[in-house]
Amino acid sequence: MQPTNMAYDRAITVFSPDGRLFQVEYAREAVKRGTTTVGLKYKTGVVLIVDKRISSHLIEPGSIEKIFKIDKHIGCATSGLVADARSLIDRARIDAQINQITYNERIQVKTLVKKICDFKQTYTQYGGVRPFGTALLVAGYDDTGPRLFSTDPSGALMEYKASSEGSGRNGAMSFFESNFKDDLSKDEAITLGLKALHQATEEKLNPEAAEIGIVDKDFDFKILTSEETLQYAKQALGGN
């Protein structure tokens, strides 16, 4: 890199001449290097599926956290720096509880996502800090129905019917573009999500490294057991 450009590269508060914040772009690269996550809505809820990418047989799979419960009706999947994600999730849990105590009602999913993104955005505006190197897929169910949001290190948010983050995002999104349809059942959504994750990982998905989280109008957010996940994976992927 030329010396004349290094100031723009080092400081989060300085725009480059062509209007770019390099530190935000680097944070996006951290997300792209993260494990693949997918999320998709179905008739009455939302499914989140992640590839834990277990790199050694010595690692205990249960120690790798990629899906988190924020509130009874909201959960999220992370891609990128897990430590950054955990910090954001702790803050989101506090925001959800403050809303419950103040108004005696569950927080709206979009309201919570906006609070998360507003906090992320402040870390693109002040010196001495860096952006959060993580993207969250936030799933929830409120009185408006099932909701699925994707958040960006810049603080931007977007609502999707089906989305993906991480290293396999392009492959998963291409699969969803061709195969997603409205009014899926829960089982159909899980199967479709596993197939998308399988394609996004170039057919190297280890069923034992997958994790599934579900929220529905009829039950609170929950993470399926490894046995349930394996059963769904065998049904979706067959002998792969």
Report the CATH number at residue 103: 3.60.20.10
Tokens of 42: 């179905």
Residue 202 lies in a domain: yes
Among residues 23, 42, 25, 48, which one has the least CA distance to residue 223? 48
Q: How many Å apart are CA 139 and CA 213, to the nearest integer?
A: 9
Residue 14 lies in a domain: no
pTM exceeding the 0.85 threshold for the entire prediction: yes
Instruction: Report pLDDT for 179.
Output: 97
Q: 227-232, long-range: CB within 8 Å, 24+ apart, which pairs? A: 232/187, 232/190, 232/191, 232/194
Instruction: Report pLDDT for 11.
Output: 78
Instruction: Report pLDDT for 181.
Output: 95
Which residues in the chain land under pLDDT 70?
Answer: 1-7, 239-240
Please tell me which residue in 4, 35, 102, 124 is annotated as part of the active site: 35
Instruction: Report pLDDT for 1.
Output: 43
SS3 for 208?
Answer: helix
- For 70-101, b/e burial (b = at least 16 CB within 10 A) is bbbbbbbbbbbbbebbeebbeebbebbeebee
Instruction: Report pLDDT for 205.
Output: 86
Beta-bridge mates of residue 30: none
- Tell me, yes or no, if 35 is annotated catalytic: yes
Residue 13 lies in a domain: no
Among residues 151, 178, 173, which one has the least CA distance to residue 162? 173
Residue 9 lies in a domain: no
Residue 5 lies in a domain: no
Instruction: Report pLDDT for 83.
Output: 94
Structural domain for 110, as ranges = 20-237
Instruction: Report pLDDT for 7.
Output: 65
Residue 6 lies in a domain: no
Residue 176 lies in a domain: yes
Domain count, the chain: 1
Q: How many Å apart are CA 143 and CA 139, to the nearest integer?
A: 14
Q: How many Å apart are CA 113 and CA 222, to the nearest integer?
A: 19
Instruction: Report pLDDT for 211.
Output: 95
Instruction: Report pLDDT for 5.
Output: 55
Residue 105 lies in a domain: yes
Distances (CA, A) of 199 to 14, 69, 151: 39, 26, 23
